[in-house]
Amino acid sequence: MSTHHRGRRAVVLGTLAALALGVTACGSSGGDPLGGGSGATASGSGSTGGSGSGSGSTVVVGSANFPENVLLGSIYSQALKAKGVKVEEKFNIGSREVLYGQLQSGNLTVLPEYNGALLSYLDAKATAVTKEDVNAALTKALPGALAILDSSPAEDKDSLSVTQATADKYNLKSIADLAAKAGEFTIGGPPEFKTRREQQFKDVYGLTFKEWKPTGDTTANALKDDNVQVGNVFTTDPKIVQLKLVPLADPKNAFGAQNVTPLVNKAGVDATATAALNAVSAKLDTAGLTSLMKRVAIDKEDPSAVAKDWLKANGLG
């Protein structure tokens, strides 16, 4: 499971906030995959059509109150509309606890979720880390009225990231590649990062770093300034694009899966809606979502406009 949100993290637009679901990590302008309910919100909500659920009636798309989730909600909403589905948008609602109850009651039909975070919410003792295992566990844990659709490759999760210059100089592509150089590198992250991750990195990847610095929500900038050489940055943090950082691959799953995944009330989605949402998941990857979040969080573009551009570019709008 990631120290990230999902049960362990929360940061919205540079603000770190500990969530009830778990560990806090460095700041992500994208927001909190756990559906944290703190921090800034993004505009772009609106509605078309009435309320209700069921095949042929209105699908109500909700979102948590952080910019990335609002953007994802808008992508889902517009993808559904493009297939002739009647949609009502209810964005910026709040935390997972509120959203989940609304979905169970049928007041909401579709939510952009993060599979690892959702599993932690439903089962605090869950140990699954791969996308496949997490989704299998979710299928068992969800009540009969709810279901997950196809997960996207896009993940908002913890990473160990380096600058492009560092990656090029030392030929770093995965966390495993750090083993030969970790003793010379300083690593940065939230204050609790060392306590929670030092032994794991030793056990899983054989890493022993020269020094651990508490860099909190300034981790990305600390990397750029070479105050640290390795940093805990969330994979959809727009500073990855802005500062040209490189999230290292995690082949041994030190950080668990956090794939963007539609969570639905089954009574409210028909085959057309399901296909439209699965088509979004098939196209949405982490690099693409990070680029979109730069437009929303740094360039301050309207999430609905950013969503429209992405859908058009991917033949889904």
Sorted by where each starts, the structural domains of the chain and their CATH numbers stand as: 41-155+257-313 (3.40.190.10), 160-247 (3.40.190.120)
Instruction: Tell me the whole-structure pTM to 2 decimals.
Output: 0.82
CB-based contact 198:212 (threshold 8 Å):
yes
Q: Hey, what amino acid is at 271?
A: A
Backbone angles phi, psi at 230, to 5 degrees: -135, 140
What's the maximum distance between 2 C-alpha atoms anywhere in the chain?
Answer: 61
pLDDT per residue over 134-182, tens digit each?
A: 999 999 999 999 999 999 999 999 999 999 999 999 999 999 999 999 9
pLDDT class for 188, splitting at 50, 70, 90? very high
Q: Could you read off the pLDDT of 196-243 as tens digits, one per residue?
A: 999 999 999 999 999 999 999 899 999 999 999 999 999 999 999 999
Q: Percentage of the chain surpassing pLDDT 70?
A: 82
